[in-house]
Amino acid sequence: MRTAPTVLHLDMDAFFAAAEQAAKPSLRGKPVVVGGLGPRGVVSTASYEARRFGVHSAMPMAQARRLAPNAAYLIPRFTLYRAVSEQVMELLRRLSPLVEPLSLDEAFVDLEAGAAIDTASARAVGERLRRDIRALTGLSGSVGLAGSKMLAKIGSERAKPDGLVLIEPGTERELLGPLTVRTLPGVGPATGEHLRRAGMTTVAELAEAGEDELVRLVGKAHGAALYRMALGHDERPVVAERETKSVSVEDTFDTDLHDRVRVRTEVDRLAERCVRRLREAGHSGRTVVLKVRRYDFSTLTRSETLRGPTDDPVVVREAVGRLLESVDTTGGVRLLGVGVSGLADYTQEDLFAQAAAEERAAREAAGGDGGRTDGPAPGEAVRGAADGGAAGTVRDGLPGSPEPVAAPAERRFPAGHDVRHAEFGAGWVQGSGVRRVTVRFEEPGSAPGRVRTFWADDPALELSEPLPLVPPVAEAAMPRHGDGEHQGRPGADQSSCPASRPKSRSASRSEKAAGSSGDSGSGRARP
DNA sequence: TCTGGGGTCCTAGGACCC
DNA sequence: TCTGGGGTCCTAGGACCC
């Protein structure tokens, strides 16, 4: 247990919604809801103004619209959020080399890995971080400081919005005791209900119950962890690099799929999308997973482990095809998903090269009688009919992939996205209807702007990349570290802050993928 | 009111091997 | 011939997190 509050947890406030408000001056101070706009969409983030109407994350969008009919409804723009997130993470890395991102808007920092630090200087570091984040991005973040991850996170939660809470080591149990069990990480709706039925609603009651009782109630690992947390003990280290364990993609359909052939083609597309992501991440994997959510929301998975790792779209497609055959889809399919786990960072060629080398070695050792190697080739199924035999032969170009879709005009201007008009300059799509696009002309630094409507095929109007939330000139004026006060750590470079404006090319593809789950882009934003 | 998408970790049973 | 235990891998499902 640390004796100084050297674990920092940063949590950006209503991140997606706040980024949109920063990008769109007319939305500042107004309720903003970011999420899927389709009939089955849910809320990703609600601005604090929208939360006052009762809107919150994970709520069905239809419900949000009833609660806050006048809010602006926007689909997520991950290109923008990633760019801002990268700026923030860079600030964190200046505090310490040990930064553990949890998501785009959240991270732990181990300040002890920077320099020895006492309570007062930890607080100063946290406050300065919050100022720097605001100066660099225009957004607010909340900071928790404590002697462990769990308490740092509880601290940032209590600090929200736009605050800092430092939990003095030694005061943990006193602080935790009266809190609800749901405060503890790992206690969700199910465990919370389970504990409640056993008569435990506060953290103090968990501590009283004792480890044996908790293990009996919720299982070995969970019970033991719960007991330690209840006592305020949490020794989990801040881990900078965590390797990916699986890659998956899934789609919920606006209406249930009944046609078996359609189900099959959707599974094929998902397999290709999944493999594309797998390859982009430089991975291959052994276990292929098919996920099916039926009309009644019952969800099942089927998996198949291959003899060796693959990143071959044909192999993955054939595997999920086999898996699909074992699933009853009568009644309708709501969601389909394809995933690959058991990741290796070597690819199939490496494996083939390795297999070939082993074969050569074996032949030499055996006196060169040219015997065959045992077992199926990598990528071939361990069980089931390993039909096809095309394993590993397709390298370039994902077969059958992106089929040209006749894009309707509305598709070109998704609500909320940035555009540029030859005459009127920068703006964003406020709504798009039949062959028309409504644009509000404003940008991060400007005053709230005016709305104009164009034909969707107006050549003067084009989509553009997100603009930086804070004009680059403001970055130059941003305070630097290393000047005075604490920790002039040698080696921590104070030199160049790369002008981090949103990157253009690279991210646009993943953004498309992120927004593709049936969002037609026809949702209207109404400031 | 009708429930997204991307992950992680744990449990439990059966197969298989020693 | 019968019985047993432990370890590892695979599969399926569930809880949880952001």
User: Which pLDDT value is given to residue A17?
Assistant: 98
Strand B contacts in A 181-210 (CB under 7 A): none
CA of A379 to C1' of C12 (A): 22
Q: How many Å is the maximal CA-CA distance in chain A?
A: 82
Query: How far, CA to CA in Å, does A366 sit from each of A358, A377, A389?
Result: 12, 21, 28
Going by C-beta distance under 8 Å and a sequence separation of 6 or more, which residues neighbour residue A221?
A: none
Residue at minimum CA to C1' distance from nucleotide B7: A246
Q: Does A306 score more than 90 pLDDT?
A: yes
Asked whether the beta carbons of A527 and A72 are under 8 A apart, the reply is yes
User: Which pLDDT value is given to residue A390?
Assistant: 32
pLDDT in tens, A265-298: 999 999 999 999 999 999 999 999 999 999 999 9
pLDDT in tens, A218-271: 999 999 999 999 999 999 999 998 999 999 999 999 999 999 999 999 999 999
Q: Which nucleotide is nearest to A301 (CA to C1')?
A: C12
CA of A469 to C1' of C12 (A): 46
The 8-class DSSP code of residue A161 comes to S
For residue A7, which of A144, A162, A184 has the smallest C-alpha distance? A144
What does the mean pLDDT of chain A come to?
83
pLDDT band at A90 (very low <50, low <70, confident <90, very high): very high
CA of A377 to C1' of B18 (A): 28
For residue A121, which of A160, A136, A129 has the smallest C-alpha distance? A129
User: Which pLDDT value is given to residue A65?
Assistant: 97
The 8-class DSSP code of residue A371 comes to P
Instruction: Check if residue A361 sits with its Cβ under 7 angstroms from strand C.
Output: no
Instruction: Check if residue A305 sits with its Cβ under 7 angstroms from strand C.
Output: yes
Q: Which nucleotide is nearest to A277 (CA to C1')?
A: B6
- Give the range among A77-81, A164-168, A417-421, A429-433 with minimum mean pLDDT: A429-433
Instruction: Check if residue A44 sits with its Cβ under 7 angstroms from strand C.
Output: no
Q: Which nucleotide is nearest to A43 (CA to C1')?
A: B4
Q: Which nucleotide is nearest to A299 (CA to C1')?
A: C13
Strand C contacts in A 94-153 (CB under 7 A): 102-103, 105-106, 153
User: Which pLDDT value is given to residue A383?
Assistant: 38
Average the pLDDT over A40-63 and give the result: 97
pLDDT band at A180 (very low <50, low <70, confident <90, very high): very high
Q: Does A141 score more than 90 pLDDT?
A: yes
A354 vs A427, higher pLDDT: A427
Annotated catalytic residue: which of A20, A106, A442, A475? A106
pLDDT above 90 as % of chain A: 73
Instruction: Check if residue A188 sits with its Cβ under 7 angstroms from strand C.
Output: yes
Query: How far, CA to CA in Å, does A491 sit from each of A96, A114, A482?
Result: 11, 11, 11
Strand B contacts in A 225-284 (CB under 7 A): 244-252, 277
Instruction: Check if residue A220 sits with its Cβ under 7 angstroms from strand B.
Output: yes
- Is A349 assigned a catalytic role? no
Residue position matching structure tokens 């074969």? A359
User: Which pLDDT value is given to residue A360?
Assistant: 62
Residue at minimum CA to C1' distance from nucleotide B8: A245
Asked whether the beta carbons of A56 and A46 are under 8 A apart, the reply is yes
Average the pLDDT over A202-211 and give the result: 97
CA of A302 to C1' of B12 (A): 17
pLDDT in tens, A447-461: 999 999 999 999 999
Distance, in Å, from the CA atom of A214 to the CA atom of A203, rounded to the nearest integer, reads 12
Instruction: Check if residue A435 sits with its Cβ under 7 angstroms from strand B.
Output: no
Q: For the CA atoms of chain A, what is the radius of gyration? A: 26
Strand C contacts in A 373-402 (CB under 7 A): 382-383
User: Which pLDDT value is given to residue A354?
Assistant: 56
Q: Which nucleotide is nearest to A60 (CA to C1')?
A: B3
A503 vs A122, higher pLDDT: A122
Residues in chain A: 527
User: Which pLDDT value is given to residue A130?
Assistant: 98
Provide the residue type at A129 as one letter: L
Average the pLDDT over A481-490 and give the result: 39
Q: Does A127 score more than 90 pLDDT?
A: yes
Instruction: Check if residue A147 sits with its Cβ under 7 angstroms from strand B.
Output: no
Torsion of CA A114, A116, A118, A120, to 10 degrees: -40
